[in-house]
Amino acid sequence: MTGFMQTTPHKVGTAAGAGLTLGALGVVFGDIGTSPLYALRQCLAALPPAEHTAAVLGALSLIFWALTFEVSFKYLGFVMRADNRGEGGIFALLALSHHDGGKGKPGGGTGPFMLVILFGAALLYGDGVITPAISVLSAAEGFKSFDSRITTPQVVAIACVILVLLFAVQSKGTKTIGRVFGPLMLVWFFTIGVIGVWHIVDTPQVLAALNPLHGIRLLLAHPWQAGALLGAVILAITGAEALYADMGHFGRGAISWAWYLIAFPGLVANYFGQGAYALTHPGTAAHPFFALVPEGGPQLALIGLSIAAASVASQALISGVFSLTRQAIQLGYFPRLKITYTNPDQSGQIYLPLVNLTLALTTIAVVLLFRSSDNLGIAYGVAVTGTMVVTTIAFFRVIRQRWRWSLWLAAPLCGLFILFDTTFFAANLHKFIDGGWLPIAIGLAVLTIMHTWRRGKDEIFRRIYANEITEDELCKIASSDRIVRVRGTAVFMAGNPTGTPLVLLHHVKANKVLHETVLLLSVVTEDVPNVPDGARLEVREIGEGVWRAIARYGYMESPDVTALMEKIGATGVPVKLDEATYYFNREMIITDGDTKMWQWQKRLYALLSRNARPVRDYYRLPPMQIIEVGLPIQL
């Protein structure tokens, strides 16, 4: 297995390692950790009650082996070894698969493989909408177990209030609330594990479900219900993708320790405890999770803990959508949006107001539309399994092209993964009409935006930089006696690190002047999460007072040109920061050109371009030192 990439190690001490493990428990396992609220109940609802014992043991067996295969074997065993300098996630696989460095850049186009990857990323937005909805709603439904007089509309109202509060505090950042994530989830897993063991001790025959034959026999005995059953089993492994996506924050080691020591035992004990209760209470309509504790105070306490855990699970998905959006912006697949940094010590803790508002409105609308976790369970699973399929496809490309595995090694392994993933994906397709269309619709909407934005940017890149003047020609212009050189520094933002920006040519043509110091500044996003400080900046003198600077950032970073200019001045470039003027192009899209784009795509791109955050704000520049020049472009 030549070229088997190892995850970048987190060299930390015992205390720090324990802290990372606790942090991983809170952020990474929030989604999968709250699945016991609804997963087993959905499984049992998908089967006829006649063969109760066989149904319970078979469903438990399928859940146990799905957790073991998907999380322990696939992700922890293989996929999480594919790290991009320690970072994971769908865009990390995209970057790793572009080992030649030529793809994924402006002008590189979006081929079939790229579209598949983008669709996998877009499906995560659907997951980001449904996870808060189903987690909070299922936890709020515990009040119905506590008091039968509480009605469904009241539960829906409670869930909506919780979601409003949850999204309202996002602007405060996760620095403060993040401190309680790990300890809270530790209490959660310990609690659900203990109450599960309590019932297992009373009904030890439930442990027979560890035999995978129970699950296989159940599927063979009920082939017509197999799709519905597997569609419910997938609810137990929702959130598995978060292990890989959040790997850069904690490291593979910390996530593995958190899974094997705490999360996995707690989940298995609780699922088997619910199964033990179901075996001894056939035909009961009680919620199997909340029925594990006595009625009254203990049940109310469990409801409160469930709501807190559901909020943690929702927070993890919301933060993940924020990070995913920033990565897409940096890689050129999403319009620029306002990004607020909520923690000066952690660049990864960010807040995107527009994304947060969109998620809040969509999530609350989903709760009002579906009104119960049972109904939402129908819509859940399609996005999760779709992302798993895309991850396997991208992983296969990485181990073949990046790691240089032979086809004889790569095909059987990924074939096993794809068999598992596509089986579950196909099992969820029957949900499409009843609600499975929702995450697909969200994913397609996000994919349309990403593809249109990238396609438009590629076309503009080709049109603007097709006939650029060379650096030698620029020096001749700068030295011409018809050009007046004035005092100060002009910084021209150059999209192409080798060309001359059009805004400079327009400025010279209109005003016949150039500043004494002219800086062509290009900000380039690399296919790595972070760029080391030593490789951040490249500065060279072109001549005649003209300099070129190329600043490189990773897709997990956001540029700060004001801070960058200080570093440029330290290299010897005679810039005066207080007197510098920054020049930008401002796109003015005209949609009647001959570009090979659908007319609706041109109009959509024009709309996105008009509403995208101005470049001046994205680069965090002083507003009084900026000049924008209109640039009409026909698409």
Q: Which residue has the higher pLDDT, 627 or 527?
A: 627
Pair (166, 137) in one structural domain: yes
Assign 595 a pLDDT band (cuts: 50, 70, 90): confident
Closest CA to 326 of 308, 310, 338, 309: 338
Is pLDDT above 50 for 4? Answer: no
**Of 163-177, 455-469, 592-606, which one has max mean pLDDT?**
592-606
Assign 62 a pLDDT band (cuts: 50, 70, 90): very high
Pair (149, 107) in one structural domain: yes
Pair (481, 431) in one structural domain: no
pLDDT at residue 582, rounded to an integer: 92
Does 81 map to a domain? yes
User: What is the tally of structural domains in the chain?
Assistant: 2
Is pLDDT above 50 for 614? Answer: yes
Contact 81, 4 (CB under 8 A): yes
Is pLDDT above 80 for 176? Answer: no
pLDDT at residue 347, rounded to an integer: 57
Size of the chain in residues: 635
Pair (391, 492) in one structural domain: no
pLDDT at residue 50, rounded to an integer: 59
User: Which pTM does this prediction carry?
Assistant: 0.82
Quote the percentage of the chain above a pLDDT of 70.
91
Chain centroid to Cα 183, Å, comes to 24
Pair (76, 47) in one structural domain: yes
Q: How far is CA 225 from CA 178, 210, 217, 230, 346, in A?
A: 41, 21, 13, 9, 48
Does 511 map to a domain? yes
The parent domain of residue 97 ranges over 18-457
Does 261 map to a domain? yes
Assign 258 a pLDDT band (cuts: 50, 70, 90): very high
pLDDT at residue 197, rounded to an integer: 97
Is pLDDT above 90 for 302? Answer: yes
Q: Which helix (H) or strand (E) holds 174?
A: helix 174-202
Closest CA to 529 of 42, 197, 84: 84
Q: How far is CA 230 from CA 218, 222, 344, 391, 428, in A?
A: 11, 12, 45, 20, 8
Tell me the DSSP string of 439-471: HHHHHHHHHHHHHHHHHHHHHHHHHHHTTPPPH
Q: What are phi and psi of 32, to 5 degrees?
A: -70, -25
Residue 447: CB partners within 8 Å, gap ≥ 6? 115, 118, 119, 122
Q: Which helix (H) or strand (E) holds 421?
A: helix 407-428
Q: How far is CA 42 from CA 35, 114, 234, 287, 625, in A?
A: 11, 35, 10, 11, 59
**Domain final residue, candidates 457, 492, 523:** 457
Assign 101 a pLDDT band (cuts: 50, 70, 90): very low
pLDDT at residue 493, rounded to an integer: 87
Closest CA to 465 of 437, 491, 500: 500
- Identify residue 315 by its one-letter amino acid code: Q
Assign 109 a pLDDT band (cuts: 50, 70, 90): low
Question: Residue 124 and residue 242: Cα distance in Å, rounded?
Answer: 10
Q: How far is CA 464 from CA 316, 596, 634, in A?
A: 41, 16, 11
Is pLDDT above 90 for 592? Answer: no
**Domain final residue, candidates 457, 475, 500:** 457
Lowest mean pLDDT segment, chosen from 273-287, 339-353, 378-392? 339-353
Q: Using alpha carbons only, give the angle 581, 585, 590 rounded to the nearest 5 degrees.
A: 160
* Cα dihedral 427, 122, 593, 585 in deg (nearest 10): 180
Does 600 map to a domain? yes
Pair (362, 396) in one structural domain: yes
Q: Locate tokens 């700060």: which residue?
A: 560
CATH code where residue 213 lies: 1.20.1740.10
pLDDT at residue 67, rounded to an integer: 96
Closest CA to 196 of 289, 273, 262, 271: 273
- The pLDDT tens digits for 305-352 are 999 898 888 877 888 788 888 888 888 899 988 888 776 555 566 788
Does 617 map to a domain? yes
pLDDT at residue 186, rounded to an integer: 94
Is pLDDT above 80 for 610? Answer: yes
Mean pLDDT of 362-372: 92
Pair (419, 532) in one structural domain: no
* Cα dihedral 234, 237, 238, 243 in deg (nearest 10): -150
Sequence-ordered alpha helix ranges (H) in 587-635: 599-611, 615-618
Lowest mean pLDDT segment, chosen from 115-129, 252-266, 313-327, 441-455? 313-327
Does 9 map to a domain? no
Q: Locate tokens 């010279």: which residue?
A: 508
Does 405 map to a domain? yes
Closest CA to 260 of 67, 86, 38: 67
Mean pLDDT of 430-450: 87
Pair (405, 538) in one structural domain: no
Question: Residue 316 and residue 321: Cα distance in Å, rounded?
Answer: 9
Does 7 map to a domain? no
Is pLDDT above 70 for 559? Answer: yes
Mean confidence (pLDDT) of the chain:
85
Pair (403, 480) in one structural domain: no
- The pLDDT tens digits for 400-428 are 988 999 999 999 999 999 999 999 988 88
pLDDT at residue 375, rounded to an integer: 82
pLDDT at residue 85, rounded to an integer: 77
- The pLDDT tens digits for 222-241 are 888 888 889 889 989 988 88
Residue 404 φ/ψ region, left for φ over 0, alpha for ψ in the -120 to 50 degree band, beta for the rest: left
Q: Give the torsion sign (CA, 136, 138, 143, 148).
A: positive
Closest CA to 155 of 375, 432, 442, 378: 375
Tell me the DSSP string of 57-89: HHHHHHHHHHHIIIIIIIITTTGGG--BTTB-S
Chain centroid to Cα 234, Å, comes to 19
Assign 178 a pLDDT band (cuts: 50, 70, 90): low
Question: Residue 538 and residue 526: Cα distance in Å, rounded?
Answer: 14
Pair (30, 160) in one structural domain: yes
Quote the percentage of the chain above a pLDDT of 90.
38
Contact 573, 588 (CB under 8 A): no
Q: Put the strands of the sheet holding 626-634 in their side by side order.
A: 537-543, 546-553, 513-525, 484-493, 581-590, 626-634
Bridge partners of residue 275, in order along the sequence: none
Is pLDDT above 60 for 20? Answer: yes
Mean pLDDT of 169-185: 74
Q: How far is CA 447 from CA 120, 123, 271, 548, in A?
A: 9, 9, 36, 35
Pair (402, 499) in one structural domain: no
Question: Residue 396 and residue 78: Cα distance in Å, rounded?
Answer: 11
**Domain final residue, candidates 414, 435, 457:** 457
Residue 391: CB partners within 8 Å, gap ≥ 6? 79, 90, 93, 120, 241, 244
Is pLDDT above 60 for 298? Answer: yes
* Cα dihedral 551, 556, 562, 564 in deg (nearest 10): -30
Q: Report the SS3 class of residue 372.
A: coil
pLDDT at residue 1, rounded to an integer: 41
Pair (479, 417) in one structural domain: no
Mean pLDDT of 16-44: 84
pLDDT at residue 409, rounded to an integer: 93
Residue 460 φ/ψ region, left for φ over 0, alpha for ψ in the -120 to 50 degree band, beta for the rest: alpha
